[in-house]
Amino acid sequence: MEPELLAEDAIPAGDPFGLFGEWLAEAKASEINDPTAMALATASAGGAPSVRMVLLKGYGADLGQGGGFVFYTNQESRKAAEIAANPQAALLFHWKSLRRQIRIEGQLEPVSAADADAYFASRARDSQLGAHASDQSAPMGDRREFLDRFEEVRKRYEGKPVPRPAHWGGYRLVPQAMEFWHDRPFRLHERRRFTRRGGSWASTLLYP
Residue 122 marked in a binding site:
no
Catalytic (active site) residue 164:
no
Asked if residue 78 lies in contact with residue 48, where contact means CB atoms within 8 angstroms, the answer is no
- Of 42, 53, 46, 83, the closest CA to residue 170 belongs to 83
40 in a known ligand binding site: no
User: Catalytic: which of 143, 144, 187, 197?
Assistant: 187
Residue 200 known to bind ligand: no
Contact 63, 122 (CB under 8 A): no
Q: Which of the 8 DSSP states describes residue 99? A: T
Helix (H) or strand (E) segment spanning residue 26: helix 16-30
Cβ 40 vs Cβ 52: under 8 Å: yes
What is the C-alpha radius of gyration for the chain, rounded to an integer number of angstroms? 19
119 is in an annotated binding site: yes
Task: Confirm whether residue 140 is marked as ligand binding.
Answer: no
Is 181 annotated in a binding site? The answer is yes
Closest Cα to residue 167, out of 79, 86, 46, 107? 79
Contact 23, 99 (CB under 8 A): no
Q: Is 154 annotated as a binding residue?
A: no
Q: Tell me whether residue 149 is annotated as binding.
A: no
Find out whether 187 is annotated in a ligand binding site.
Answer: yes
> Does the annotation flag 52 for ligand binding?
yes
Q: Find out whether 59 is annotated in a ligand binding site.
A: no
C-alpha 38/C-alpha 33 separation (Å) is 12
C-alpha 10/C-alpha 23 separation (Å) is 12
**Which residues contribute to the annotated binding site for substrate?**
57, 119, 123, 127, 187-189
The catalytic site residues sit at 187
**Which residues contribute to the annotated binding site?**
52-57, 72-73, 78-79, 101, 119, 123, 127, 136-137, 181, 187-189, 191
**Which residues contribute to the annotated binding site for FMN?**
52-57, 72-73, 78-79, 101, 136-137, 181, 191
